[in-house]
Amino acid sequence: MASKVIQAIYNDDDVLMTAVKKVKAAHHHIEEIYTPFPVHGLDKAMGLAPTRIAITSFLYGLVGLSVAITMMNFIMIEDWPQNIGGKPSFSFIENMPAFVPIMFEMTVFFAAHLMVITFYLRSKLWPFKKAENPDVRTTDDHFLMEVSVSGNEDEVMSLLQETGAVELLVSEKH
């Protein structure tokens, strides 16, 4: 089902932030905002919920730490114990200071790689995906805000014009 949206194009991020606050204060729904670079505070101005990305990163780090401990315990203690530099080879705990760099690196490795995979899956990005950007200027120096309309098109158009939009377009969003 297609819905009607108004695309307001801005050429300054400060003007965009002010416009977002005015549109939200007027209780209109902002579908999406396209920017050429991250705009600090835009998520809070739009009223978006905080992400749980830090929690998933921590959990992925714990997975990496668990894999590192299991791997080192099996390889260096159970499977093929060796006397390296006079260190005892019968206890993981006694050898742990030598294993700290490996544990750290595996924690970072798992957290980083699994976060990239999670980001791509969550954002629905994959190779050869067609771009969903409605205006190519938003990859260079313009900002685009899509506001949904349902019978109040003139009111929204006048509000967006007052906020400093340099261009307004009405289109169907699928």
Question: What is the per-residue pLDDT across 108-127, written as a single tens digit (0 to 9) for each?
Answer: 999 999 999 999 998 888 88
Look at 25-29, 73-77, 114-118 and tell me which has the smallest mean pLDDT. Answer: 73-77
Mean per-residue pLDDT, 79-84? 77
Q: Please state, as a whole number, how many other Cβ atoms lie within 10 Å of the Cβ of residue 23.
A: 21
Question: d(Cα 54, Cα 16) in Å, to the nearest integer?
Answer: 28
Same domain for 66 and 104? Answer: yes
- The pLDDT assigned to 2 comes to 60
Residue 167 in domain: yes
Mean per-residue pLDDT, 34-45? 93
Q: φ, ψ for residue 116 (rounded to 5)?
A: -65, -45
Q: Dihedral (C-alpha) 62, 119, 28, 40: value to the nearest 10 degrees? A: 80
| pLDDT beyond 70 at 67 | yes
Question: d(Cα 71, Cα 59) in Å, to the nearest integer?
Answer: 18
Look at 70-74, 86-90, 169-173 and tell me which has the smallest mean pLDDT. Answer: 86-90
- The pLDDT assigned to 151 comes to 80
pTM: 0.71
Question: d(Cα 137, Cα 143) in Å, to the nearest integer?
Answer: 8
- The pLDDT assigned to 19 comes to 95
Domain containing residue 156: 3-49+133-173
Residue 127 in domain: no
Q: Dihedral (C-alpha) 132, 135, 136, 141: value to the nearest 10 degrees? A: -120
| pLDDT beyond 60 at 1 | no
- The pLDDT assigned to 22 comes to 94
Q: φ, ψ for residue 145 (rounded to 5)?
A: -115, 125
Q: Dihedral (C-alpha) 127, 133, 137, 141: value to the nearest 10 degrees? A: -80
Residue 128 in domain: no
Q: φ, ψ for residue 98 (rounded to 5)?
A: -75, -20
Same domain for 57 and 117? Answer: yes
Same domain for 45 and 57? Answer: no
| pLDDT beyond 60 at 172 | yes
Same domain for 57 and 118? Answer: yes
Provide the domain count of the chain: 2
| pLDDT beyond 90 at 136 | no
The beta strand positions in the chain, using DSSP E, are 3-10, 30-34, 143-148, 167-173
Cβ atoms 33, 16 nearer than 8 A:
yes
Question: d(Cα 1, Cα 170) in Å, to the nearest integer?
Answer: 16
Percent of the chain scoring above 90 in pLDDT: 53
